[in-house]
């Protein structure tokens, strides 16, 4: 897929090989090899847990060059409302919008508009008797990838409607073309709060090609705006927010979606919470629920890894802001019905296919042999799940071994036992550990990697 492309990488000069990321990964996609973390992009769902867990900020997110916007006459910045929520309270929406113009954008669209179109569109899906329940929102791309890979039987529960960034993109294009712009003159740039949304734009699931032309990381955009933002009163630009609603502003927050749909709905945030819930869902232990909102980050997008502001303060500012806006129902588009019908049509996604990840390969007979072998290997391992072998737990190490990606001596406890039994000498055992974790790792040295100020 999930990752033929890489949207985040690891800076080897910063990685201290400490196992934090490996232990936090919900899909066991990280191993430590030669003292450095390595991401298996096949398994990665871009949830960003590893970024949060890393004490040295060694992970970084790929991004497009902001200079590329200059090649378009109409430069549209699309950003989720949470972008506004991060700014210190002293800056008004007018000043933030003015700052975005100064950065070089000609048109500003918060993505959660026109929200009634999205709400109606999802309600259409829910009203269809054929829709499997509970229907699961596709809003969070990390969740979509998690379901495709780990819970393939639930892909049919995903609601085939695009995310708000597509909504606003189509909306912006329509509006600009009505004003006389040519499609090729319009550049659409999405300010992303996370890696998952980058992947959703660059290699979308359920659409052949995304409408968005480029990505701007939200933390970079935040810094750019902070450089140029005015402390003085700027021109009133409220008119640019006339299609924004309470529902839209709250959409990216937890319960922002679920509160609109079905007679019974559930909202879940945090990837590990999602994993536990999907497990139950797949066992058919969740009955009578119509709609599930599920986001990989704690506090939903306010907790995105590319946000600068504190997630709880961001939520608070947004909730306050949302109250000042009209309800989505009260907003009337200029070209009204006709316009919305066209937008609705563009929101429909192609079917999403399961992409299960098989730890032991697709051939069932071989997989069973490997699994049997892995189960026997686990009997020899201590079950401490320490990570010193470079795998997140003993089971993962056993799986790696049968896939020829690790060996028995990677387990430091097993190796110690062998030394005790006289099967290998202590020197050889130590060399094995050095091979895994690096030669300078075990010196008493205050300047080495992983020294005290780099830990938690």
Partner 1 sequence: MKLTFNIQGGDFTHAGKPSSEVKKVLKQLNVDGKTVKNIVIALYEAEVNVVAHAWKGTVSAEIDENKITIFVEDDGPGIPDIELAMQAGYSTASKQVRDMGFGAGMGLPNMKKNTDELLIESIVGKGTKVKMVNYFK
Site for partner 1 in 364-423 (CB under 8 A): 364-365, 367-368, 371-372, 375
**Cβ–Cβ < 8 Å for 111, 168:** yes
If binding is defined by CB under 8 A, does position 235 make contact with partner 1? no
Give whole-number Cα distances, 111 to 77, 79, 94, 172, 341, in Å. 9, 5, 17, 10, 18
Least distance to partner 1, CB of residue 370, Å: 9
Could you tell me the two tokens for 184?
């090729």
- Nearest alpha carbon to residue 44 among 80, 14, 6: 6
List b or e across 178-203, with b for residues whose CB sees 16 or more CB atoms inside 10 angstroms. eeebeeeebbbbbbbbbbbbbbbbeb
- The secondary structure element, H or E, covering residue 9 is strand 8-10
Q: List Cβ neighbours of 350 (8 Å cut-off, separation of 6 or more).
A: 160, 206, 207, 208
Instruction: CB nearer to partner 1: give 355 or 448.
Output: 355
Instruction: CB nearer to partner 1: give 376 or 435.
Output: 376
If binding is defined by CB under 8 A, does position 356 make contact with partner 1? yes
If binding is defined by CB under 8 A, does position 359 make contact with partner 1? yes
- Nearest alpha carbon to residue 287 among 302, 314, 266: 266
If binding is defined by CB under 8 A, does position 277 make contact with partner 1? no
Number of amino acids touching partner 1 (CB under 8 A):
24
Report helix, strand or coil for 322: helix
Residue span binding partner 1 (CB under 8 A) among the ranges 66-74, 192-200, 294-302, 354-362 = 354-362
Looking at residue 130, the DSSP 8-state letter turns out to be T
Could you tell me the two tokens for 370?
């490997």
Instruction: CB nearer to partner 1: give 10 or 25.
Output: 25
Q: Return the residue of 91, 277, 360, 418 that touches partner 1, per CB under 8 A.
A: 360
Strand pairing of 135-136 and 59-61?
unpaired
Least distance to partner 1, CB of residue 283, Å: 5
Residue span binding partner 1 (CB under 8 A) among the ranges 26-34, 206-214, 279-287, 309-317 = 279-287
Least distance to partner 1, CB of residue 146, Å: 13
Site for partner 1 in 71-130 (CB under 8 A): none
If binding is defined by CB under 8 A, does position 445 make contact with partner 1? no
Looking at residue 256, the DSSP 8-state letter turns out to be T
Q: Return the residue of 285, 336, 337, 447 that touches partner 1, per CB under 8 A.
A: 285
Binding site for partner 1 (CB under 8 A): 150, 152-153, 279-280, 282-285, 354, 356, 358-365, 367-368, 371-372, 375
């Amino acid at each position: 897929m999930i990752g033929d492309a890489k949207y985040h990488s690891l800076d080897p000069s910063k990685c201290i090989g400490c196992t934090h990321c490996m232990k936090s990964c919900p899909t066991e996609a990280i191993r430590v090899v030669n003292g450095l973390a390595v991401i298996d992009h096949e398994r990665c769902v871009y949830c960003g847990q590893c970024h949060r867990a890393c004490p040295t900020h060694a992970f970084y997110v790929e991004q497009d060059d902001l200079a590329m916007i200059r090649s378009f006459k109409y430069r549209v910045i699309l950003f989720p409302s949470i972008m506004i929520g991060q700014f210190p309270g002293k800056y008004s929406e007018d000043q933030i919008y003015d700052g975005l113009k100064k950065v070089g954008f000609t048109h500003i669209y918060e993505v959660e508009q026109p929200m009634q179109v999205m709400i109606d569109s999802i309600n259409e899906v829910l009203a269809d008797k054929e829709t499997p329940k509970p229907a699961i929102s596709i809003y969070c791309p990390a969740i979509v990838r998690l379901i495709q890979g780990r819970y393939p039987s639930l892909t049919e529960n995903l609601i085939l409607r695009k995310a708000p960034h597509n909504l606003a993109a189509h909306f912006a294009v329509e509006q600009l073309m009505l004003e006389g712009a040519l499609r090729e003159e319009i550049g659409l740039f999405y300010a992303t709060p996370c890696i998952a949304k980058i992947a959703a734009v660059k290699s979308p699931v359920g659409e052949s090609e995304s409408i968005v032309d480029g990505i701007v990381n939200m933390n970079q955009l935040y810094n750019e705006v902070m450089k140029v933002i005015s402390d003085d009163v700027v021109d009133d630009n409220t008119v640019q927010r006339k299609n924004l609603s309470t529902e839209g502003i709250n959409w990216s927050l937890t319960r922002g979606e679920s509160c609109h749909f079905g007679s019974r709905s559930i909202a879940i945030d945090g990837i590990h919470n999602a994993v536990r819930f999907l497990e139950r869902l797949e066992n058919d232990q969740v009955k009578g629920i119509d709609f599930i909102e599920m986001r990989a980050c704690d506090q939903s997008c306010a907790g995105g890894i590319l946000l600068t502001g504190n997630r709880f303060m961001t939520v608070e500012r947004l909730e306050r802001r949302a109250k000042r806006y009209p309800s989505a129902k009260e907003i009337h588009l200029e070209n009204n019905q006709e316009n919305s019908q066209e937008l609705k049509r563009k929101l429909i996604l192609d079917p999403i296919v399961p992409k299960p990840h098989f730890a032991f390969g697709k051939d069932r007979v071989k997989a069973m042999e490997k699994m049997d072998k892995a189960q026997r290997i686990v009997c020899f391992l201590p079950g401490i799940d320490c990570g010193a072998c470079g795998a997140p737990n003993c089971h993962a190490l056993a799986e790696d071994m049968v896939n020829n990606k690790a060996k028995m001596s990677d387990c430091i406890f097993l190796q110690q036992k062998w030394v005790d039994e006289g099967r290998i000498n202590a020197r050889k055992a130590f060399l094995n550990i050095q091979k895994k974790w690096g030669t300078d790792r075990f010196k008493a040295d205050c300047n080495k990697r992983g020294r005290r100020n780099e830990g938690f």
